[in-house]
Amino acid sequence: GDMKYRQIWAASTNGNRMTGRFFSKDHPEDGMAITAWRKTPDTHGIMSIVPAALKVGVETEIVISGVNLSGDVTLAGATVTVTSATADRIVLTARIDSGQSGLAKVTVGTDVSDQNMALYTQVDYLKVTPEYGISRVGGGGGPIPKVNAQFEATGYSFGPDGKQYTDDDLRLGRMPVIWSVDNYNQAAADMQDTKYAGHITAEGTFIPAVAGPNPERKYSTNNAGDLKIIATYSDGDRTLTAEAHLIATVQRWNNPPIM
C-alpha cells in the first residue's frame, strides 16, 4: 500500500543481535518492538512463542519462531502435535487437560525458551496499557497531523496462590476485547467530551478529532477531551472490564530532540 515505515536498530557489542522499533513514518506513535539475530550455521535458539499462554482443557495453536530449530518440541504436561516445521518456524497444537496455574518452559531439541509459557484455568482480571495516554488533535487543513493513542488489554491469572496483585500472578498476553469510551468525570460530561474528542477503533487505537475551534462546542473550544478508555472481555457468562485514562489535547508545535 501507500504506508511508509521506518526502523531504528541497536546492535549488540558482538554484532550477533539487534533490537529496535518498527513504526509508521506519518504516525511514529504507532509501532512495535523488534528483535533480530544474525543467522549463522552455529546460531540456534527460540526467539518467540505466540501466544505465550495455554488454557487448561483448550487445544491451542502455537507458533515458535527462532533460528536453526531442530528436534522434538516439548511443553511440560501438554500433548503437543507439530503441524508444520522449518528451521525458523514451527507451528503446533498443544493441549493440557489438568493441572494448576503456573509457568512452563518450551523446548525444541536442546534449545530452551527464555520466554515462559503461562498455564492457566481462566482469565481473572485485565489491565489496560498505557494506564495514562495522550492523543493530540490535528489535521483540519493545518500543518500538524493527528497523534493517535494505542491501547492494549492484557489478561492475567491470579496464579497458584489464587490472589490478585501478588508476585505469582501470570501475564497471559493480549486479550480480544470490546473497546469503548466514556467521559472521565462530570466536567467532561458537561462538555460532552465523548461526542467531540474522537473515537476508538476495534483494535484499541484512539483517533482524535480534527484541530481548531469548534463552533458546536461550548465556548467554541477545540476538540480536546478528558476520557476513560474501557476494555470489556467476555468469557462465557463472565465479563471483565478495565479502564485507562486518556487526555485528548491540542497540537504540539515543537518536537524537542531526544537528549
Rounded Cα distance, 174 and 168, in Å? 18
Examine residue 62 and state whether it is found in any structural domain, yes or no: yes
Mean pLDDT of the chain: 93
130 located within any domain: yes
Same domain, 243 and 138: yes
**112/168 same-domain check:** no
User: pTM of the full predicted structure?
Assistant: 0.88
Which domain-ending residue is among 120, 149, 179?
120
The domain tally of the chain equals: 3
Tell me the CATH number at 171.
2.60.40.10
**In a shared domain, residues 165 and 213:** yes
The whole domain housing 168 covers 125-249
Q: Do residues 132 and 231 share a domain? A: yes
Give the type of residue at 18: M
Where does a domain end: 59, 86, 120? 120
The verdict on 158 and 229 lying in the same domain is yes
Q: Residue range 230-254: average pLDDT?
A: 94
Mark whether 137 and 64 lie in a shared domain.
no
> According to the 3-state scheme, what is the secondary structure of the chain?
CCCCEEEEEEECCCCCEEEEEEEECCCCCCEEEEEEECCCCCCCEEEEEECCEEECCCCEEEEEEEECCCCCEEECCCEEEEEEECCCEEEEEEECCCCCCEEECEEECCEECCCCEEEECCCCEEEEECCEEEEECECCCCCCCCECEECEEEEEECCCCCCCCCCCCEEEEECCCEEEEEECCHHHHHCCHHHHCEEECCCCEEEECECCCCCCCHHHCCCCEEEEEEEEEEECCEEEEEEEEEEEECCCCCCCCCC
In a domain, 259, yes or no: no
Same domain membership, residue 244 and residue 129: yes
Q: pLDDT for 18-55, tens place per residue? A: 999 999 988 888 899 999 999 999 999 999 999 999 99
Q: How far apart are CA 61 and CA 42, in angstroms?
A: 29
The pLDDT, as a whole number, for residue 77 is: 82
**Dihedral, 98, 111, 160, 61 alpha carbons, nearest 10:** -50
> Hey, what's the cell of 220?
467554541
- pLDDT attached to residue 120: 94
Pick 229 or 219 by higher pLDDT.
Answer: 229
Report yes or no on 256 lying in a domain. Answer: no
The pLDDT tens digits of the residues spanning 189-202 come to 999 999 999 999 99
pLDDT bracket for residue 217 (50, 70, 90): very high
Pair (49, 71) in one structural domain: yes
Per-residue confidence (pLDDT) for residue 55, from 0 to 100: 94
204 found inside a domain: yes
